[in-house]
Structure 1
């Protein structure tokens, strides 16, 4: 992790520093069907019951290009670079118009996936890592990043149970790993898992065994978030004490 506000150049025209953002940004990363959304929903309920203002966000929720991405993906014809830039635009719009304003207002922002999902998808599709780091250099550094680690076989079972079929993009069919969608899904998700493991070391993910029960995972997440929020409360007191 870094003490910087952004991973790179950030959004300099906003002239932000850490004192402007009194809220906290918490990210839960992981593959489709890893349990992220369930954990986000439970954590939001818990935090709101504790009196916190909460904003939850995720991919393709931008009013600018969110629907356009959905429509374009439906045709299965998007080029790799075009898809990367559309997702980056979606994220940038949400960062500027949703995430940063909420953090300024003292909200806890819960992100159901962040730039790391976008990065691992692009890395598997052959994108240059330095180009991706530059592309997402405007992203805020989260206060906490959880990663739901689930093996591809479990993801396959969950996807079939939930949807009854496999998704073209989540199976990596555009990567041409196999003409068989089931085999392609397993290979693609295995490659994503490897890339997540690398980013985990670089960006300091808190890795969670996604095979544990929903309640066990939620308790772990709540405990870590409570620690984060307690440290936030303790900081001003410590400064005051030092001043005396």
Structure 2
């Protein structure tokens, strides 16, 4: 097994944890599912890859739940309306997004993970932190805001050159998005130039975060088919590692039960055998036998 594959399995098999204090009252040992994140800018093919992964996993019998930005039942509509007016300050926007994230974390992700689902996140806190930091928010402050986040089992960042992102967005929407172009930052009155500069800054921040958070960078300049093949290969390793852990735990449990039964028999000193000879009911021996079945 390659070193990268071993590292992926080891990371997956670590106990669940939060980046900081997390959500009060959550029993992390009850989160049996996996959280898999796909990050990337608009035009990176991120949502397409999430859909392909969901179909692939469900065909294999894994139940999935999708989450993403601005999908909270609590504030998503209000956040959309505020962003359309282009009136939000940087910190206000960050806190709006944090509220959206926290609501989904508590009311969608946690229940799904408790039930053993694979949660596929179409972007996570990394995009939100990168956006805030390039707009001048203190890194320590924004990291503290998102310290409630659960550490994912795997994170994949689709790295796409800014020029290819421009082409894809124009081909799909015919126009560039105000916020994805960083027009609020006033780098340029030209939206095309502003988009290129903003995406360059975002990618620079993601490279810095990759060193800190250790997620996998995927070449997103390739075809959707090639990207999906690589993502599946990574996730296959993770799922196989998880299955191996479950089987190992099951074997350990069976071994423990066998040892316990053997110890009980030795402690009885053969009383069960003597009971059968004398005609007395072998109560303890029968109870042990029924339990083993």
TM-score calculated relative to the size of structure 2: 0.80
Q: How far is the alpha carbon of 1:236 from its aligned partner?
A: 2.7
Q: Which runs of 5+ in 1 are unaligned?
A: none
Q: What SS does the corresponding residue of 2:148 show, helix, strand or coil?
A: coil
**1:178 paired to 2:188:** yes
CA contact (8 A) 2:16 2:31 kept: no
The secondary structure found in structure 1 opposite 2:93 is helix
1:35: how far off?
0.7
- Per the alignment, residue 108 of structure 2 pairs with 98
Secondary structure of 2:37 counterpart: strand
Q: Indicate the residue corresponding to 1:148 in structure 2.
A: 158
SS at match of 2:74: coil
Report 1:14-163 matches (<5 A): 14-17=25-28, 19-163=29-173
- Secondary structure (helix, strand or coil) at the match of 2:187 reads coil
Report the equivalent of 1:11. Answer: 23
| Structure 2 runs not aligned, ≥5 long | 1-10, 256-293
Cα deviation per residue 1:183-216 (whole Å; 9 max; x = unaligned)? 1111001000100111111111110000111111
In structure 2, the residue matched to 1:196 is: 206
**CA distance in structure 2 between the partners assigned to 1:239 and 1:186 by the alignment:** 50
Q: Distance in 2 between matches of 1:217 and 1:88?
A: 29
CA distance 1:98–1:23, change in 2 (3 Å):
same
Give 1:230 deviation, angstroms: 1.2
SS of residue matched to 1:136? helix
Whole-Å Cα distance in 1 between the matches of residues 27 and 146 of structure 2?
A: 17
- TM-score (normalised: structure 1): 0.96
Cα deviation for residue 3 of structure 1 reads 5.7
The alpha carbon displacement at 1:67 in A equals: 0.7
Aligned equivalents of 2:113, 2:15: Cα separation in 1: 17
CA contact (8 A) 2:65 2:112 kept: yes
- Separation in 1, partners of 2:189, 2:107: 41
Which structure's relative contact order is higher, taking Cα pairs within 8 Å and 6+ residues apart?
A: 1
Taking structure 1 as reference, are residues 201 and 128 closer, same or farther at Cα in structure 2, changes over 3 Å only?
same
Point out the structure with the larger helix share: 2
Deviation by residue 1:70-123 (Cα, 9 ceiling, x = unmatched):
100001111111100000000000000000000000100000000000000001
Deviations 1:147-175 (Å, cap 9, x if unpaired)? 00001111011111110011111110001
Post-superposition Cα deviations, 1:46-77, rounded to whole Å, max 9, x if no partner, equal 01111111101100000100011110000111
- Is residue 216 from structure 1 mapped to residue 221 from structure 2 by the alignment? no
In 1: Cα distance, 2:247 partner to 2:56 partner = 25
Secondary structure at the residue paired with 1:207?
strand
Cα distance in 1 for residues equivalent to 2:185 and 2:251: 57
* CA RMSD, Structure 1 to Structure 2 (Å): 1.3
- Aligned residue pairs total 242
Deviations 1:15-41 (A, max 9, x none): 322x20111000000111101000000
Answer with 1 or 2: which has the greater Rg: 2
